[in-house]
């Protein structure tokens, strides 16, 4: 359990004029993440990778993957998943670990 990545923090959502939504977050670190002199915490993993679950109640409608602390949920994906553009989305974001797999998720209801 000590190798499980912490949940990301500060989840945000921004819809662009074409209807795409960019979800973003800030990762946390298990090791050496408390220095006030660094702009970003250390990665603590071989690669930076995340999985983002788009939720509808308790059901995962879609899982997106990202190699950066943001991901684009396209307008076409949203229409396919929900039938129309939504004003809020519940998402779960977790950092991936080559050793542990999915880390602890952060869930948030975001206005878009």
Question: What does the alpha-carbon distance between residue 66 and residue 55 come to, in Å, rounded to a whole number?
Answer: 17
For residue 110, pLDDT over 90 is answered with: yes
- Reported as a single tens digit per residue, the pLDDT across 11-62 is 999 999 999 999 999 988 665 445 555 556 555 666 799 999 999 999 999 9
Q: How far apart are CA 24 and CA 67, in angstroms?
A: 12
Amino acid 2: pLDDT: 67
pLDDT of residue 3: 75
Give the phi and the psi of residue 17 in degrees, each rounded to 5. Answer: -60, -25
Could you read off the pLDDT of 75-104 as tens digits, one per residue?
999 999 999 999 999 999 999 988 888 999
**pLDDT at site 99:** 84
Q: Any alpha helices (H) in 1-112, and if so which ranges?
A: 75-82
- In percent, the amount of the chain with pLDDT more than 70 equals 82
Position 100 scores a pLDDT of 87
């Amino acid at each position: 359990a000590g190798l499980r990545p912490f949940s990301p923090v500060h989840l945000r959502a921004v819809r662009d004029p074409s209807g795409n939504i960019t979800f973003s977050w800030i990762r946390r670190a298990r090791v050496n993440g408390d220095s006030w002199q660094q702009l970003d915490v250390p990665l603590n993993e071989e690669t930076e990778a995340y999985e983002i679950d788009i939720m509808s109640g308790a059901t995962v409608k879609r899982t997106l993957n990202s190699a950066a602390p943001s991901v684009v949920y396209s307008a076409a994906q949203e229409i396919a998943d929900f039938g129309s553009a939504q004003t809020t989305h519940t998402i779960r974001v977790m950092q991936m670990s080559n050793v542990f797999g999915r880390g602890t998720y952060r869930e948030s209801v975001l206005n878009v």
